[in-house]
């Protein structure tokens, strides 16, 4: 039995963006599907009494440097957005809505949202910009804008975030779960790879 | 010019213990000396509004699992102490005192202190236990116990911790600095290795 890899991310997390690149070759190597799950890191941080990395006095400067250095190390295009972090509720609800019709299209949309923020520096909290990206992947722009304000979609996304944080106990991003094994951080993708190779250790 | 690797650690940090193993082959490969610098992670955490990893609601359980899994991954002997964390001021002052006479002996002492806590589960906040370890490496037990209460040693260690946290901006452990480049975490030793191989990227 070959289980999928669950990938939990926040569109505003630099390490989740980097992790989205790193997990792909590993999943392909092991013939695993990646299930993308956007959530709100802010909800997890509330419970953990944590803050966005860049808001810590010393860790903040280090983190900005490490995002860039780690991106260059892995040859992933990256430019730290000047306005950080962003609340990306619209993009996340939009992802959920697109994925109901077409999960693959939702992933293409997600990759473009990540790139818009972490490569092009666009404001992905602006629903007009996010709707443009939806349009680029062949989603009706107006229907998208309506959907992200739809009460049922809002409730479904809220329930999903609560399930992810409170039931699946995801407290950071990126977070990967495969065969019940939990890996937090872009820097644990190597162990995840080895875990699938060896079947644990 | 080949610069040393500065290694900053707290005797109570599991990842610093793991990092102390991981940095050795990398340093040897590149012909670099490792300078061991104990400090008080608690002082850094105050400024960062951070807490010991195990005290976070969700991250705490994950971290305990990750310490064990990462140790097994690297085949490093490890057993999470039940009483965690410890304030290891005595061991740290003792390290400073030993290192003035014999830096290599101080490193041997440090490795034994780490092992006493993270392999044998001994209470390394107990100065009698730490003095026993000093004795094992050929340091006079009574002189050691006197030294760790010496006003000058206390002041020197305090000044060192302040220099490490406030001037060198070390906020976590393990922390490595080589040629001005900063690496935080046992999971950055791979990048440090590559940095020395390529001379940066």
Average pLDDT over residues B18-29: 98
Q: How many independent structural domains does chain B possess?
A: 1
Are the Cβ atoms of B191 and A48 closer than 8 angstroms?
A: no
Average pLDDT over residues A149-178: 97
Distances (CA, A) of A48 to A42, A45, A51, B8: 10, 5, 9, 26
> Two tokens at B132?
């026993």
Tell me the pLDDT band of B49, cut-offs 50, 70 and 90. confident
Chain B residue numbers with beta carbons less than 8 Å from the beta carbon of A44 are 58
What residues make up the domain containing B60? 5-198
Reply yes or no on whether the pLDDT at B4 is more than 60: yes
User: Which residues of B are catalytic, by number?
Assistant: 13
Question: Which tens digits make up the pLDDT trace of A7-59?
Answer: 999 999 999 999 999 999 999 999 999 999 999 998 888 887 788 888 888 89
Residues 24-53 of B with CB under 8 A from A: 44, 47-51
Reply yes or no on whether the pLDDT at B183 is more than 60: yes
Tell me the pLDDT band of A138, cut-offs 50, 70 and 90. very high
Supply the DSSP string of B49-83, one letter for each residue.
T---GGGSHHHHHHHHHHHHHHHHHTT------SS
Of A47 and A64, which is predicted with more confidence? Answer: A64
Are the Cβ atoms of B182 and A48 closer than 8 angstroms?
A: no
Closest alpha carbon within chain B to A46 = B57
Question: Which tens digits make up the pLDDT trace of A187-201?
Answer: 999 999 999 999 999
How far apart are the CA of A59 and the nearest CA of chain B, in angstroms?
A: 7
Clarify whether A13 is annotated catalytic.
yes
**CATH classification of the domain holding A110:** 3.40.30.10
Average pLDDT over residues B78-100: 96
**Composition of chain B by helix, strand, coil, percent to 5:** 60, 10, 30
> Two tokens at A83?
């306005």
**What is the Cα–Cα distance from B61 to B52, expressed in whole angstroms?**
12
The answer, for B185 touching chain A at a CB cutoff of 8 Å, is yes
């Amino acid at each position: 039995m070959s289980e999928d890899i669950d990938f939990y991310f926040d569109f505003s997390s630099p390490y989740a963006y980097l992790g989205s690149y790193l997990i792909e070759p590993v999943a392909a190597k092991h013939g695993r599907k990646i299930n993308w799950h956007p959530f709100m890191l802010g909800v997890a941080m509330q419970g953990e009494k944590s803050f966005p990395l860049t808001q810590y006095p010393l860790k903040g400067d280090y983190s900005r440097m490490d995002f860039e250095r780690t991106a260059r190390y892995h040859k992933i295009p990256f430019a730290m957005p000047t306005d950080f972090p962003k609340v990306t509720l619209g993009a996340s609800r939009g992802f959920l809505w697109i994925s109901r019709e077409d999960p693959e299209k939702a992933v293409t949309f997600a990759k473009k949202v990540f790139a818009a923020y972490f490569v092009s520096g666009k404001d992905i909290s602006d629903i007009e910009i996010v709707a443009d990206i939806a349009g680029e992947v062949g989603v009706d722009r107006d229907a998208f804008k309506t959907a992200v304000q739809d009460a049922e979609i809002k409730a479904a996304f809220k329930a999903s975030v609560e399930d992810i944080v409170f039931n699946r106990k995801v407290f950071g991003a990126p977070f990967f779960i495969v065969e019940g094994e939990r890996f937090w951080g872009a820097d644990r993708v190597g162990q995840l790879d080895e875990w699938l190779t060896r079947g644990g250790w």
